[in-house]
Structure 1
Amino acid sequence: MHADIRTTYELGNKNQTTTWLECINFYKELATRFPQVLRFEQIGVSDSGVPIHAGVVSADGVFQREQIKREGRPVFFNNNGIHPGEPEGVDACMALVRDLCVEPARLAALGRTVLLFIPIYNVDGCLNRADTSRVNQDGPEQFGFRGNSRHLDLNRDFVKCDSLNAKVFNQLIASWDPDVMVDTHTSNGADYPYTMTLIHTQADKLGGALGDFLRHTMLPHIFSQMERSGWPTCPYVNPVKDSPDHGIAEFLETPRFSTGFAALHHVIGFMPETHMLKPFADRYASMRALVEVTLAFTVAHGAQIGRLRGDARAQAAQRSDWPVSWKMDEGNPSTFLFKGYAAKYAPSVLGNYTRLSYDRSEPWERPIAYYNNFVADVVVRAPSAYVVPQAWRQVIERLQWNGVEMSRIEAATTVEARYYHIQSVTSRAQAYEGHMFHDDMLLETRHASVQLRPGDYYIPLRQPNARYAVETLEPQAHDSFFRWGFFNSVLEKKEAFSDYVFEDLAAELLRDEPALAASFAQWKVDHPELLADQDKVLHFIFEHCQRFAEPEWRRYPVLSIV
């Protein structure tokens, strides 16, 4: 280590983390002193106007993204500080990049692989420093806050992109197209001996040969190497009941999370989660080990990973059936040899209930159920193309940020199309990350001759980024744009009636529209308790009649060209 190039963590008592300004100045100094190794630049700004930076480390001084992609060089991406109260990855990345700059042998070991990193992603939260926001965490002495300047958790924002940070991230992933991503975190949850736990892109959801490679080759290597390095690692501890004794479930990371978002681009993603109750020095050391083990694997297998990702993209462009929602296969668990502490239950001194605690004086090691198999819950028949009307600018922007190929329709034309009619929607009672997220929906598939307007966007699915398009535009997908409320206005009926006038019209409508009369008769059988409510009765007739129908009401505006 160069004595004059030490990080805040190294200069202190091993229980301190860098500030945003210290971190950025550290990298700027490195880039000035080692311009043939490190390129460090601003790539955007946060919602509060704070610069967001990224760095590139190259063993032979090649930093241009176009050349790196043209030459097919492996790209390893390390994202840090998305939750600035979980900062060990920030400090570990600083030391790793410094060592690559000052140690020729370490740098040469990168070969053709390029290290791309974001030093601090949630820059707003990093500036909001205190020592109180992480209730159960052991150090460091001061740290940042989980929320950004809009009080958003950025690890729920990757698809909806409410923040400028997420826009920058989307564009970076699409332009750099990394092969492997490591996004560093600290975990809450049960107590156990492990310092390091690991979330990874769910292998079944990643699919095909790429998913098999992750499950059967890459993960066993990472776990074995972490054991050798002195940091035994287990899967993220997500108990199926109240403690790990009863088994743990693999985390189904949907695209709102970084690892799930990575899967939309066929990127192998990892989210290392160090344990909150372990000393900060241990969390730092295990995080550095995890990043280095994963980087070394990427260097050794980069060409193979690149081929598998290319094959996955090619296969996606040819798919006809798309899984868009997944569920745990409860009847098909595997096992994991787990190290745990005895779970104890005792009456609480605070209330009339039993509380859980862990007894570190009673460690145990035994196989536990590990639910790491997932099956498709919803499968859709993919169209040949989607058409997104130009009016839905927010949706179009996000597709463009992610490199989805599209063209604008030049002249009005009539096509046969499939679309969804939204029968019902169940939304969360409280806001979730700034949205009233739609948990459940009932859709009816309809077909019609539709006139496409000049300027609307035509999105063919025979393209490398088909997966991103399908999993954002199909409403039933885990984190579709519809679930996040991008199309909420179509759920609102725009016209209304005066009950004293409509009462007579309603009787006329029931006489003239047999289908309406039949559905109203069934509704009365199903809901006799509502017949005394004039508003409910009249609204049912108004909303189901043909004479006053609003064609766009509850009509999902994205068309599927079949």
Structure 2
Amino acid sequence: MNIHDDWATPFERGNGNQTTTWRDCIDFHQRLARAFPSWLRFDEAGRSDGGVPIHVGVFSNDGVFDPPAVKAAGRSVFFNNNGIHPGEPEGVDACMALLRDLCLDPARRAALGRTVLVFIPVYNVDGALNRHDTSRVNQNGPEAFGFRGNARHLDLNRDFIKADSLNTRSFAQVFTRWDPDVMVDTHTSNGADYQHVVTLIATQPDKLGGRTGEHLRETMLPALYADMAERGFPMCPYVNPLQEIPDDGIADFLDSPRFSTGYAALHHTIGFMPETHMLKAFEARYHGTRALVEAALAHTVAHGDAIRAARAADRAAIAGGAPVALDWSLDRQRSRPFRFSGFTAVHEPSRLGSYQRLRYDRGAPWVKDIPYFDRYRTTVSAVPPRAYLLPQAWHDVALRLQGHGVPLQRALRAGRVPAEACRITRFDKRRMPFEGRHLHDVLEVETVMRTADVAEGDWLVPLGGPHDRFIVEVLEPLGIDSFFRWAFFDSVLDKKESFSDYVFEDEAERLLDAEPGLRARFEAWKAEHPDLLGDREAVLGFIFLAAQRYAEPEWRLYPVLRLLELPATLFSAED
């Protein structure tokens, strides 16, 4: 197809090493939407932290642009997200050309069938406007590009669950409104050197689970790898080496919900993150990205009915009480061979220091089978309750849930309900902040039954609907990316009162005599920690924390409660 000059993209008009600016990209899509309103809608979806509009486009070859109508008709939805890392822009340019071709080419429109294409042309708009050529030290072009961080210096591909940025909240509204069946979020890779142009992170199939995970592993991934080879881009899994170099084997990337594909999995959506190799020419990366998006779109068109049925079955299983996996570990006992095209790794003395440097010799390519570890085992799971009770004091959590599309109910009056509560018995907070928060890495909890007091205005988070998996994974503290791990409840981890040692010394002796079992626990602690007996704060601190007399019932008590039965009259749906 000959492209009229009026519809050539900046990439197509350039030298193969140029990417569009944010302004040119938005103008291009707006012009397309004005020229082809029967098929394309292009609107503002929200604002970024920097106050810049975030746009969303919808292409439907029969002009149906309403999500409920699309879903009611049993139509598939394919979602393409671009520019989350604006220094990795090939997806931005590929999306422009793809939409242009759909508008101009009747055959391409017909091939789309009843599938609706939803796209965000540039997600991290703040980073896209922070344009230069200096922030990607390992990348081969383009000539100028955007920056990874947004206006708050957040990496948006770590923010999907915690939603600290306005960008993420805008994204969540688009995503939950359309509830896509398949998502492709375009990226550029970093790491080892090899011959492949395109590598792929897919939603980890064992983590995705259920019938949707089976379709991904057994049907969609083999089809995508075959299709990409036919398109001239033999693909490999994302190169996540077990050791220093890929020769020793690679492992599936565990995409927790902080990442786009892990977030998609919380909605039973199949997600893909193509990672083109940063050392390949930008032109090759552009064409490889477009090939992957088109291959995934074609599979969605051909297998949309099967994917939607699998998603519905998996949602019904959780609504029926099936356990929800919360954390996973790589199965190092299971691997399969993958035919990998690499370069010979060379270790040689560095000219900068007294160490051995790693270099890949592009003059010595090789093709051979390497071990590919693509299986994960569930390590933690939870049986869903009937609902969660969220005290209104945690309004920031309620707002996050609502922002992700989770329906909540409010208590109309005070009351009491039986509930399961858990106390945090051990946690490990990272010393350095990660994307604006101190993440918790190690957790141990103990669960107790209690009668919970409900205050007027408290929130009920009911289960039994399409958001169940999302709710369970973020509200169970042991979830790999739960709200607790992301420090939304850190105030309960601090004991509010302390002691003055010269006063508490006498009181501690009295407590050891007065409280049953306290002296025995103290003697056991002394036997385990003889090196601490000379530390006044450690000795008195143990007695203070172990004594029931000065216990704070709320200390380390996780405030979200599990309800095994729904209270009949306390709550009503929010407006």
Tell me the TM-score normalised to structure 2 length. Answer: 0.96
Three-state SS of the structure 1 residue aligned to 2:517 is helix
- For the residues of structure 2 that align with 1:463 and 1:66, how far apart are their CA atoms? 16
Query: Where in structure 2 are the equivalents of 1:304-323 lying within 5 Å?
Result: 304-323=306-325
Counterparts of residues 219-234 of structure 1 (less than 5 Å): 219-234=221-236
The residue that corresponds to 2:148 in the other structure is 146
| Contact 1:405–1:463 (Cα < 8 Å) also in 2 | no
Question: What amino acid maps onto 1:95 in structure 2?
Answer: A
Following TM superposition, by how much is the alpha carbon of 1:320 offset from its aligned partner in structure 2, in angstroms?
4.2
Letter in 1 for 2:382: V
* 1:103 corresponding residue in structure 2: 105
- What is the root-mean-square deviation of aligned Cα atoms in Å? 1.1
Given that residues 318 and 384 in structure 2 are in contact (C-alpha distance below 8 angstroms), is that contact kept between their aligned partners in structure 1? no
1:275-294 aligned within 5 A: 275-294=277-296
1:113 corresponds in structure 2 to 115
Tell me, which stretches of 5 or more residues in structure 2 are unaligned? 565-575
CA distance in 1, matches of 2:294, 2:68: 26
In 1, the alpha carbon distance for the partners of 2:449 and 2:504 equals 31
Asked if the contact 1:85–1:146 (Cα under 8 Å) also holds between the matched residues in 2, the reply is yes
Matched, 1:214 2:216: yes
CA distance in 1, matches of 2:426, 2:279: 44
Report the Cα distance in structure 2 between the residues aligned to 1:415 and 1:27, rounded to whole angstroms: 53
Preserved contact between residue 212 and residue 311 of structure 2 (Cα < 8 Å): yes
1-side partners of 2:116 and 2:382: how far apart? 37
82-91 vs 537-546, which moves further: 537-546
Corresponding position of 1:342: 344
Cα distance in 2 between the residues matched to 1:557 and 1:235: 41
State how far apart, in whole Å, the 1-side matches of 2:423 and 2:51 are: 41
Are the equivalent residues in 1 in contact too, given 2:321–2:383 (CA < 8 A)?
Answer: no
Structure 1 segments of 4 or more deviating over 6 A? none
Segment of structure 1 superposing worse, 547-556 or 40-49: 547-556
- The answer for the alignment partner of 1:551 in structure 2 is 553
Task: Please state whether the residue corresponding to 2:539 is helix, strand or coil.
Answer: helix
| Aligned-residue offset at 1:343 | 1.2
Q: Give the alignment partner of residue 408 of structure 1, picking from 407, 410, 417.
A: 410
Range 253-262 or range 537-546, more displaced: 537-546
Q: In structure 1, what is the equivalent of residue 203 of structure 2?
A: 201
Deviations 1:182-201 (A, max 9, x none): 00000001111100000000
Amino acid at match of 1:505: E
Equivalent position to 2:396, from 394, 397, 402: 394
The match for 1:122 is: 124
Which residue pairs with 2:562 in the alignment?
Answer: 560
Deviations 1:446-492 (A, max 9, x none): 22222222221222332221100111011111100000100000001
Q: Deviations along 1:424-467, whole A, 9 cap, x unmatched?
A: 21111211000111001221222222222222122233222110
Q: Any idea what the Cα deviations from partners look like across 1:83-117, whole Å, max 9, x if unmatched?
A: 00000000000000011111111112111111100
Q: Which amino acid aligns with 1:460?
A: P
Provide TM-score, normalisation by structure 1.
0.98
Give yes or no for contact 1:73–1:114 (8 Å, CA) kept in 2: yes
Q: What is the rounded CA distance, in whole Å, between the counterparts of 2:291 and 2:365 in structure 1?
A: 24
Check the 8 A contact 1:227/1:233 in 2, yes or no. yes
In the alignment, what sits opposite 1:73? 75
What amino acid is the match of 2:217? R
Q: Percent identity?
A: 57
Letter of the 2:471 counterpart: A
Q: Give the distance between the partners of 1:291 and 1:113, measured in 2 at CA.
A: 14
Q: 1:360 aligns with which of 339, 362, 365?
A: 362
Q: Which consecutive unaligned segments of at least 5 residues does structure 1 have?
A: none
> Which letter does structure 1 place at the counterpart of 2:463?
L
Write the distance in 2 (CA, Å) between the matches of 1:392 and 1:177: 27
Q: 485, 488, 496: which one pairs with 2:487?
A: 485
Looking at structure 1, the residues matched to 36 and 173 of structure 2 have their Cα atoms a distance apart, in angstroms, of 27
Distance 1:61 1:96 in 2: 18
How far apart, CA to CA, are the structure 2 residues paired with 1:404 and 1:27?
31
Indicate conservation of the 8 Å contact 1:316/1:464, yes or no: no
> Could you tell me how far apart the structure 1 residues matched to 2:138 and 2:335 are?
31
Is 2:418–2:451's contact at 8 Å kept on the other side of the alignment?
A: yes
Deviations 1:341-380 (A, max 9, x none): 1111111122222111111122111111100000001123
Instruction: Tell me the equivalent position of 2:451.
Output: 449
Choose the corresponding residue for 2:372, options 365, 370, 384: 370
3-state DSSP of counterpart to 2:377: strand
Distance in 1 (CA, whole Å) between partners of 2:323 and 2:218 is 25
- Given candidates 445, 461, 484, the residue that maps to 1:459 is 461
Residue matched to 1:186: 188
Q: What is the SS of the residue equivalent to 2:339? A: strand
Residue 324 (str. 1) matches residue 326 (str. 2) = yes
Per-residue CA deviation, residues 112-144 of structure 1 (Å, 9 max, x unaligned), is 111100000000000001101000111000000
